[in-house]
Amino acid sequence: MEGITDRSFRKLVVETNPSFIGAVCTEFVRITQPPLSVEKLKLELGEKFEGPVHGIQLMGNNSQMLAESARNAAEAGADFVDLNFGCPAPRVLQHCAGSALLDDPPGMEKIISAVVQSCPVPVTAKIRAGGDDDSNLEDIAQRVEQAGATALCVHGRLRKEKYTDPCAWNRIQRAVEAVTIPVIGNGGVDTHADIERMRSETGCPAVMIGRAALSNPWIFSGENPKRETRIEWLKSYANRMEEGSANPTQALGRLKQAVKYMANARQLVLANGLAFSLRSPTKEALFESLS
């Protein structure tokens, strides 16, 4: 969830849905050479707060660099380390990372095993259901388990499928039936009701939500607040980002992204239209466009 689940967002969403969220995770952190330092990973993690367990997600293809970074992540305070084998972004695939590793199950298993052996906290993995097809899904899931991961998150789409394509939850069910470790369902959850529906249809014990939480920060609890409350939430988000060292340009960019997601999901009606709000040159102008 690069560009979405920043430190300010994670804490605010948990406060918005008290007792409904069991775990939070950072945006993915790219690992190349050298391994990331404890100080850098502390910055990514941010200050831990009561309630959920806190994870750091790492992405790369060098098992040694990932293993050392995972050990540093634990020292930085992460309660668990998640390995990203699901990102379908072209720039990630070009570097043979993310979902590119779904085409090399033995290589993926080797990476997970190296990280598990090095890391003193639980290691989990996140995958898509496959690259061009889902024929290797069970094999991939079983390799994740054999490598020592304590949980597996399965996004029901293939690497080649877009977020606008339907998400096949039966693929999540297949993974649930293929392994004994917990399988976390992901993808196609757009409403609060979808959470329980995914659990019921797939047998997964937990659900991971990313982009839909930006569209509707109340999706976990199912609350449907008034428009004024949604705008106040956006103001709190802006303030948190600035207090957390984001510069005004960065904060405005992420704030506009949140407005766009909310508007496109019809969680926020904009009298002057989305394009008008997105042209706002400052935070103050943006909120004035929402009034």
Give the per-residue pLDDT at 2.
Answer: 63
Assess whether pLDDT exceeds 70 at residue 1.
Answer: no
Give the per-residue pLDDT at 49.
Answer: 94
Give the per-residue pLDDT at 3.
Answer: 65
Residue 215's CB is within 10 A of a number of other CB atoms, namely 20
Average pLDDT of span 204-226:
96
Residue 22 burial (C-beta neighbours within 10 Å; 0-12, 13-18, 19+) = exposed
Euclidean distance between CA atoms 256 and 254, whole angstroms? 5
Average pLDDT of span 36-51:
94
Pairing of strands 23-25, 53-59: parallel
Euclidean distance between CA atoms 267 and 19, whole angstroms? 23
Assess whether pLDDT exceeds 80 at residue 32.
Answer: yes
Is 5 within 8 Å of 27 (Cβ atoms)? yes
Assess whether pLDDT exceeds 90 at residue 10.
Answer: yes
Give the per-residue pLDDT at 6.
Answer: 83
Give the per-residue pLDDT at 278.
Answer: 96
Exposure class string for 154-173: b at 16+ Cβ within 10 A, else e: bbbbbbebeeeeebbbebbb
Give the per-residue pLDDT at 137.
Answer: 98
Give the per-residue pLDDT at 76.
Answer: 98
Euclidean distance between CA atoms 72 and 68, whole angstroms? 6
Domain 7-215 - what CATH class? Answer: alpha beta
The whole-model pTM stands at: 0.94
Is there a catalytic annotation at residue 153? no
Give the residue extent of every domain in the chain.
Answer: 7-215, 227-290
14-23, 86-95, 242-251, 266-275: which has the minimum mean pLDDT? 86-95
- Taking only the tens place, the pLDDT of each residue in 123-147 is 999 999 999 999 999 999 999 999 9
Give the per-residue pLDDT at 199.
Answer: 98
153-162, 181-190, 244-253, 275-284: which has the minimum mean pLDDT? 244-253
- From 25, 87, 119, 204, active-site residue: 87
Q: Which residue is listed with tokens 């699901």?
A: 86
Average pLDDT, the chain: 94
Average pLDDT of span 190-208:
98
Task: Tell which residue, 157, 194, 201, has the closest CA to residue 177.
Answer: 201
Give the per-residue pLDDT at 95.
Answer: 77
Task: Tell which residue, 101, 186, 97, 109, has the closest CA to residue 144.
Answer: 109
Q: Out of 95-104, 182-191, 236-245, give the one with best mean pLDDT.
A: 182-191
- Taking only the tens place, the pLDDT of each residue in 112-128 is 999 999 999 999 999 99
Average pLDDT of span 89-99:
81
Assess whether pLDDT exceeds 70 at residue 5.
Answer: yes
